[in-house]
Amino acid sequence: MALSSTIFKVELSIADVDRGYYGEHALTLARHPSETDERLMVRLVAFAHAAADGLAFGRGLSTEDEPDLVLTDLTGAIRLWIDVGLPDEKSVRRAAGRADAVRIYAYGGRAVGVWWDRVGERLMRQERLSVIEIPRAATEALAARADRTMRWQCTIQDGGLWLANDAETIAVDLVWRMGSPDRH
């Protein structure tokens, strides 16, 4: 018998001062049985950081060749393709061929450096690509607070991102390995 996904309900309030985006989102996130709380929370950070009308979560880990998050226009064209983790170069090239912009939110501590050393030079050829690293301290802190029902307030200002719940605020220092915060 196959294991089913675990459903997380998230109320997310976003104040992105840098882009002038303000929104309230009632999100339903399905965590695949093979997905960790850390990855789930990185997907939430990616949503908050790229929030826009129409941004949606993909079908998940069980569906290959699909983004973790996607922004499409009214014609169905993919405006933004977001992957979370450390994708292989072939997947990134394929995404860049299908979308106006591709963004990777990399996490995993030292594994990010190893991955970047292996594929970074070749990825630099992708003009539509941005690679943003989320440091391990932030992802671990967020994973420890993953709950089936969550309420978060996200503030983005001067390139910094903060997630706060009723008990604490967690700073998420985004490290731009490729691309620019200005291309957002």
Q: Record the pTM.
A: 0.94
Contacts of 180 (CB under 8 A, 6+ apart): 130
Give the pLDDT confidence score for residue 62 in this predicted structure: 54
Low-confidence ranges of the chain (pLDDT < 50): 183-184
Give the pLDDT confidence score for residue 87 in this predicted structure: 96
Give the pLDDT confidence score for residue 60 in this predicted structure: 63
Report how far residue 120's alpha carbon sits from residue 166's, in angstroms, rounded to the nearest whole number: 39
| Three-state DSSP state, 31 | strand
Provide the residue ranges of all domains of the chain, joining segments of one domain with +. Answer: 6-183
Q: Which conformational region is residue 65 in: left (phi greater than 0), alpha (psi within -120 to 50 degrees), or beta?
A: left
Give the pLDDT confidence score for residue 182 in this predicted structure: 63
pLDDT tens across 43-79, in order?
999 999 999 999 999 876 556 679 999 999 999 999 9
DSSP state of 181: G
Sheet-wide strand order for 21-31: 21-31, 6-16, 149-157, 160-164, 169-172
> Which of these CATH numbers, 3.40.50.410, 1.10.10.10, 3.30.1330.40, 3.10.640.10, describes 6-183?
3.10.640.10
